Each structure stands twice: as C-alpha cells, then as structure tokens.
Amino acid sequence: MSGLFFMFMAVLSLATLVPFVGAALALALLPAATLGLMAATQEASKGKFPMPSILISAFRAGQQRKQAMMVLGALYAVGFLALMGVSALFDGGQFAKLYLVGGKITEELVQQNDFQMAMWVALALYVPLSLLFWHAPALVHWHGVTPIKSLFFSFMACYKNFGALTVFGLAWTGVFLLAAIMVSLIASLLGNPTLAAVAMFPVALVIVAMFFTSIYFTFRDSFVATPPDATSDSVASPGDSS
C-alpha cells in the first residue's frame, strides 16, 4: 500500500510539471487517484494483492463513469482554485502561489499577518470542500451516482457521522504527533538533532499512506447500497458509522 501511495504521489507530481495547467491538472486527478487507493484497500481487505494498475480503476469502469469522474475532478479543481483565489484577497496571493507553484518558505513570510490570515481562510474553506468530496469518488465509481448528487450524499454522510469523523481525525492527529515525538526522542538520545528532520520525512510519507488507506473504511461504514430489486438506481444512502 505504501508503494502504491508513492506511485500515486509520483503521478500527481508529474502532472504539476505540465506547463501552465500543471497545478489544475494535478487537482483534477486527485479524486480519481484517491479512488484508486480506495480500490486497492478494498482488494487488500479481501485478501488479494492490489496491482499498480488498480490506481487507474476510475478510468476503467466504463465510459459513463469515467466521464463522471472527470467531471468530479474538474469540479474539485475549480473549487480548490476558487478557495485559493479567496485567500489571495488577504495577502495578495503569496500563500496561494507558495502552495500551488512552490517556492522558498522564509520565517519572515510565515510571520506576516496577511500570510497567516490567508492560510487560515484557506483552511477554513477547505473543510467544507473536503466534506463534499470525501465520499464522492467512491459513490461515482461503485454506485453510479452522478457527480452533483455524489457531492450532496458525501456532505450529508459526513454531517450525519460528524462525531465518528471527529474521532477519526483526532486519532490520526494523535498518530502524527506520536510519530513526531518518537522520532525527536530517538534523535535526541543519539545526540543527532538533524536526524529528526531527515527521518521524519519518510515516516510522514508512510503515515500519510496509512491515512489514505483508511479512507476506504470511512466510506464502507457510512453507506449501504440499495438492493438492486428495490430500485432501478443503485444509489447509496447515508447511514451511521460503526
């Protein structure tokens, strides 16, 4: 799963290298790439070995669902760029440029009030955006829900399971903090403070891979597929997380 996550990151990184539209292209691919990792997790949970080709599951599910996933990706890219545009109103676009294009992070830049305000505005706007798209790729791929309906169902499922998702988020925050503390402690015991900075990067990547793997289970425990004989549309309905 870690290897698949690294491939997932490599694909998105390569997409950002496309001139002019790289950042938007990477954003548009994110829902499909996330679905690929969810499909890999589903395979692993069945005792099967997920092959790299599973990462493009979203584009192998038929023309209709492939187009729906592309629409979903475009909506995500537009939404993310829009919230970055709003954040640019507070600092002249410094935070948005740093996030989307890259650049050098300096202490002077981070301490600027305008930059901090833009960062917090972007974070506040990203929360509802992430709730809209949290379950949407899976709903489109596995249940054939239209992109707009998938956003509605995703948001409602997150709303109805807010307590469970809060615990989920706090637990992962705890995992990240615990890993950082352990790495720092080991570096201190070895008398090599720079080791913490070097070691934390691969450790963080593995933990993020674990996090993306866990997303599948939030979907599985939040939706129940309607039996095919009950309705002509296989639509998922929000339920309670276990």
C-alpha triplet 172, 70, 212: angle, nearest 5°: 15
Q: What whole-number percentage of the chain has pLDDT above 70?
A: 93
Q: What is the band of 199 on the pLDDT scale with cuts at 50, 70, 90?
A: confident
Q: What is the band of 232 on the pLDDT scale with cuts at 50, 70, 90?
A: very low
Question: What 3-state class would DSSP assign to 238?
Answer: strand
| Nearest-angstrom CA–CA distance, 112 and 131 | 29
What tokens does 214 get?
């866990």
Q: What is the band of 226 on the pLDDT scale with cuts at 50, 70, 90?
A: low
Q: Spell out the residues 6+ positions from residue 25 whose beta carbon is closer than 8 angstroms to its own.
A: 15, 16, 18, 77
End-to-end CA distance of the chain: 24
pLDDT in tens, 157-186: 999 999 999 999 999 999 999 999 998 888
What tokens does 193 get?
């403070």
pTM of structure:
0.85
Q: What is the pLDDT of residue 233?
A: 44
| Nearest-angstrom CA–CA distance, 144 and 67 | 11
Beta bridge partners of 238: 223
Neighbour count for residue 215 (Cβ, 10 Å)? 19
pLDDT in tens, 112-140: 999 999 999 999 999 999 999 999 999 99
More confident residue, 48 or 235: 48
Residue 235 scores a pLDDT above 70: no
